[in-house]
Amino acid sequence: MLQALVFDLDGTLVDTEELHRQAFNQAFRELGLGWDWGPALYGELLSVSGGPDRIARYVDRLRVAAAEKARLRRLVAGVHRSKTRIYGELLSAGQAPARPGVRRLIREARAAGIAIGIAATSASANVQPLVRAALGPEAGAIAALVCADQVARRKPAPDLYERLLATLRVSAPGSVAFEDSANGLAAAKAAGLHTVAAPSRWTAGQDLRGADLLLPDLGELDLAQLQRRLPVLQAVHP
């Protein structure tokens, strides 16, 4: 029996990566670091889950003396705090619509009594405002939300999904995860969930062939079609 639909947040439920990129760059300017992450570079860095680890990876790539690299690594937490604040400001000032098909799937799942959760690699401070902005009335259907700062390991480790399943009190074989990235897909598979991958413009070049269902987007997918295309799931309404 299909028990739960669980969604990655950034890139899957809503395309926020451009806002994230702008927030990183504004934080770099405010702190006088002289860094600038263009779209191509940011696309590469998205292979690393989570802002702090992404900044640390970038520092590791810099051609600077070992002492300077060590100094910069000590700044990572502060840089990320500034980025998180700026991202919240950008989010409040703009719009963050859900990707096509997401709100329909959530409405249908709610009507069918299927649990709905979110596994977010974002910091907790910005997740609730983003969910409300993206989902509107459907935000009330979210039964559980787990953020990266609530678990020991980020994606591709399964920690986020394992905690989310435990919070929802559902089984992995009865749940479907929606992801847009290779790291997210690996995390969901490691936790034992069925998977649907719908890449964003930032992750279109990643290898998502391990997904149980690979789609260009979720715009045409409804609950009945999901169950037909993943025959391992029994119909909610036989």
CA distance 29 to 47: 23
Closest CA to 121 of 96, 150, 99, 143: 150
Q: Which residue has the higher pLDDT, 46 or 28?
A: 28
Range scoring the smallest mean pLDDT among 7-16, 87-96, 160-169:
87-96
| CATH pick for 17-93 out of 1.10.287.130, 1.10.1740.10, 3.30.56.10, 1.10.150.240 | 1.10.150.240
pLDDT digit string, tens, across residues 134-156:
898 999 999 999 998 899 998 99
pLDDT digit string, tens, across residues 87-101:
888 887 766 789 999
Domain 4-15+97-229 superfamily per CATH: HAD superfamily/HAD-like (3.40.50.1000)
CA distance 89 to 148: 20
Domain spans, the chain: 4-15+97-229, 17-93
Catalytic annotation, residues: 8, 10
